[in-house]
Amino acid sequence: MQYTTAGESHGAKLVTIVTDVPAGFALASERINSDLARRQSGYGRGGRMSIETDKAQILSGLRFGRTLGTPIALEIANKDWQNWQERMATEGVAPANLKIETAPRPGHADLAGAQKLGRNDCRDILERASARETAARVAAGAVARAYLANFGVEISSYVTRIGKVALPPELIARKQAVFSTEKIENSAVRCPDAKTTDAIILAIDDARTKGESLGGCFNVVATGVVPGIGHFAQASKRLDSQMAAAIVSIPAIKGVEFGLGFASGSLFGSEVHDAIVIGEAGDGRIQPIRATNNAGGIEGGMSNGESIVISAVMKPIPTLTSPLRTVDLLTHQSREASKERSDIVAVPACAIVAEAECAMVLANAYIDKFGADTLADALVAFNNYIDRLIK
Ligand SMILES: Cc1cc2nc3c(=O)[nH]c(=O)nc-3n(C[C@H](O)[C@H](O)[C@H](O)COP(=O)(O)O)c2cc1C
């Protein structure tokens, strides 16, 4: 399963086409829309999110609520398009009074993109480099999630840090634990601890007052993944390499860890590696499992049957209401960077995008292992596989 997206931030629509979709599984626009709504949420988002109410329309690849095994095309309308039709017209000539963006924002794609493509209007770059595109990713990811649900795989996420405020270490140490959905989704910043949530909200308010922005960290957790997904034999088939590439492809992500991650570099081997014991696996079978999950559910490029736990860090939002200095592309004079309408922080939303990326990688790996044509065939292969795992 793969996806591609198209669409500018203030264009008419965002579109995504998901290809290599097995036939025969149920998909509903409500499920896609609920993930889109989750991506729009989070304290500290900018004005754009109050304009948009993202809804996906399914254009192809489905008949009577089930996948046909053909490409699924999805579109999400940009409500803000009505305010941008002239400035973002796909045809005709530019209006005489067109305002061009010549003050590239440090931290964004503006300058390198303008240099690369020989443009002096940064809007030609920023419209596509904007993370508005990630709404289309979330829609594509919802297709992958719907497929994975048939195999008992669920994916969730939660925020562990925004700026200097982090979940207390004792909760972080339990990062393999899945927090209740209620606790996560009831928090305005998708952080499962009420005290940390309150402190984060204060930090965001403080950043807003200072004209600042913030970044942070989050965990993505995939439960119900059977052992042996991915492959040890080829670099490109390793589950961790695919997962890292997918998560780092999200704008502003600057690092990814699995399980203990960087912290494992300062510990003894015996403190890091997860002892193998006989116990009850997620599906209730007695088989070799891990006493702990410091590996974050992946060893040797394959799932090991424990929850997959991925942590990622998002840098602070580049658009600042008290902007950094930049250089005007036309005059080469020093000036303030441009101000787009912007989020102050988008870590909670970013975590939803990461869920979608994680789902796409896992769905692809399941298809690789259990078959590409139909869900029914894949379930037969899956059940045979489960049966031949240690009995
Ligand atoms: C969900 C989400 C929302 C974002 N919102 C904004 C925003 O409102 N303003 C902004 O300047 N950057 C925003 N960003 C971050 C930029 O897209 C990102 O910093 C930029 O693409 C450059 O990052 P890069 O160097 O990793 O490519 C957002 C990112 C994500 C994932």
* Residue 348 binned pLDDT confidence (cut-offs 50, 70, 90): very high
Residue range 69-98: average pLDDT?
96
The residue whose CA is least distant from atom 21 of ligand 1 is 251
pLDDT at residue 176 in the model? 56
Question: Is the pLDDT assigned to residue 272 strictly greater than 80?
Answer: yes
**Which of 159, 317, 322, 353 should be mutated for ligand 1, with most atoms under 8 A from CB?**
317
Residue range 97-116: average pLDDT?
97
pLDDT at residue 46 in the model? 83
pLDDT at residue 52 in the model? 84
Question: Is the pLDDT assigned to residue 284 strictly greater than 90?
Answer: no
pLDDT at residue 355 in the model? 98
The secondary structure element, H or E, covering residue 48 is helix 48-51
φ/ψ region of 75 (left if φ > 0, alpha if ψ in -120 to 50, else beta) reads beta
pLDDT at residue 48 in the model? 76
Q: How far apart are CA 354 and CA 358, in angstroms?
A: 6
Q: How many domains does the chain have?
A: 1
The 10s digit of each residue's pLDDT in 224-247 is 999 999 999 999 999 999 999 999
Task: Count other Cβ atoms within 10 Å, centred on residue 259.
Answer: 24
Instruction: Check the CA dihedral 100-317-254-256 and report its sign.
Output: negative
Structural domain of 354: 2-388
Q: What is the pTM of this model?
A: 0.97
For residue 318, report the distance from its CA to the centre of ligand 1, in Å: 7
Whether ligand 1 lies within 6 angstroms of the CB of 40 is answered as: no
The 10s digit of each residue's pLDDT in 23-52 is 999 999 999 999 999 999 999 888 877 888
Whether ligand 1 lies within 6 angstroms of the CB of 131 is answered as: yes
* Residue 171 binned pLDDT confidence (cut-offs 50, 70, 90): confident
The secondary structure element, H or E, covering residue 184 is helix 181-186
Residue range 115-127: average pLDDT?
97
Among 108-117, 168-177, 202-211, 377-386, the range scoring the smallest mean pLDDT is: 168-177
Task: Count other Cβ atoms within 10 Å, centred on residue 59.
Answer: 13
pLDDT at residue 282 in the model? 76
pLDDT at residue 321 in the model? 94
Task: Count other Cβ atoms within 10 Å, centred on residue 20.
Answer: 13
For residue 172, report the distance from its CA to the centre of ligand 1, in Å: 25
Asked if residues 306 and 291 have their Cβ atoms less than 8 Å apart, the reply is no
Asked if residues 56 and 76 have their Cβ atoms less than 8 Å apart, the reply is yes
Question: Is the pLDDT assigned to residue 340 strictly greater than 90?
Answer: no
Q: How far apart are CA 137 and CA 139, in angstroms?
A: 5
pLDDT at residue 51 in the model? 86
pLDDT at residue 174 in the model? 59
Whether ligand 1 lies within 6 angstroms of the CB of 346 is answered as: yes
Which of 34, 39, 32, 37 lies closest to 53, judged by CA? 37
DSSP readout, 364-380?
A: HHHHHHH-SSBHHHHHH
For residue 154, report the distance from its CA to the centre of ligand 1, in Å: 26
Asked if residues 198 and 267 have their Cβ atoms less than 8 Å apart, the reply is no
> Per the structure block, which two tokens stand in for 312?
């990622």
Which of 149, 148, 151, 169 lies closest to 160, judged by CA? 169
**Which of 133, 343, 353, 355 should be mutated for ligand 1, with most atoms under 8 A from CB?**
343
Cα 52–chain centre separation: 19
Q: How far apart are CA 317 and CA 108, in angstroms?
A: 9
* Residue 385 binned pLDDT confidence (cut-offs 50, 70, 90): very high
CATH at 241? 3.60.150.10
